[in-house]
Amino acid sequence: MASGRTLLITGASSGFGRALAQEALAAGHRVVGTVRSEAARAELEALAPRSAFGRLLDVTEFERIDGVVADIEASVGPVDVLVNNAGYGHEGVMEEAPLAEMRRQFDVNLFGAVAMMKAMLPYMRKRRRGHILNITSMGGFITMPGIAYYCGSKFALEGISEALGQEVRPFRIAVTAVAPGSFRTDWAGRSMARTPRSIADYDAVFDPVRKARQEKSGKQLATR
């Protein structure tokens, strides 16, 4: 483990987070993964009892993030790589979707990631090294009907990643935004929040997109 690195991965219980954790552990690195249940924590730590460490954290618990990061630094060791993976998809026509659903989407996908970066940066800056990986989406570059809030959150994270990269480059901290395309995860399945339909005028533009997404879910060519 002398040459291994320590990765802090948010949302490590499923999808890209779990896949990244498994790959990092297989390569000889240590992984600290944030999860939202004791069962998920036990499952993560069982992957590699001496190298995998679970921490209970919902990234919207902003007041807890600094303390959790400080505990990881003190008890596990210096974090070399922060992977902001926690997130979910929201589907809904903008006129129909309440602002509360937009706030929740941005709290998880954007503000949670920013809060994690702000908590981690003082340690990386002091050490003059580190790497931040933000999992965005092709939805941070292109749009389609029915996922305005999701795309908005990912466009924002792309922009913040780019600007932050310029700010911290003098401290030998790299910031990388990773924008996956269509992968076989639960994004369009159980992980997606859907606003109920209510305005028939949008049926023609929205219904075919929803149908295609549902039919494709679980059958994407790319696997995580």
Catalytic residue among 88, 123, 149, 150: 150
Residue 2 CA to chain centroid, in angstroms? 28
The token duo for 133 is: 């990986």
Domain assignment present for residue 222? The answer is: no
Q: What is d(CA 150, CA 115) in angstroms, rounded to the nearest whole number?
A: 18
The token duo for 199 is: 């305005």
Per-residue pLDDT of 115-142, as tens digits, reads: 999 999 999 999 999 999 999 999 888 9
DSSP string across 50-109: TTEEEEE--TT-HHHHHHHHHHHHHHT----EEEE----EEEB-TTTS-HHHHHHHHIII
Total length of the chain: 224
Mean pLDDT over residues 145-150, rounded? 94
Domain assignment present for residue 223? The answer is: no
Its pTM stands at 0.89
Domain that holds residue 167: 6-216
What is the percentage of the chain residues whose pLDDT exceeds 70? 90
Per-residue pLDDT of 71-97, as tens digits, reads: 999 999 999 999 999 999 999 999 999
Mean pLDDT over residues 197-210, rounded? 92
Confidence (pLDDT) at 219: 54
Domain assignment present for residue 173? The answer is: yes
CATH value at residue 147: 3.40.50.720
Per-residue pLDDT of 22-43, as tens digits, reads: 999 999 999 999 999 999 999 9
Domain assignment present for residue 221? The answer is: no
Q: Are 110 and 152 a contacting pair, CB within 8 Å?
A: no
Domain assignment present for residue 162? The answer is: yes
Confidence (pLDDT) at 224: 42
Total number of domains in the chain: 1
Domain assignment present for residue 128? The answer is: yes
Q: What is d(CA 109, CA 89) in angstroms, rounded to the nearest whole number?
A: 9
Per-residue pLDDT of 180-201, as tens digits, reads: 876 544 555 567 899 999 999 9
- Annotated catalytic residue 150: yes
Domain assignment present for residue 224? The answer is: no
106 φ/ψ angles, rounded to the nearest 5 degrees: -75, -35
Domain assignment present for residue 89? The answer is: yes
Q: What is d(CA 85, CA 16) in angstroms, rounded to the nearest whole number?
A: 7
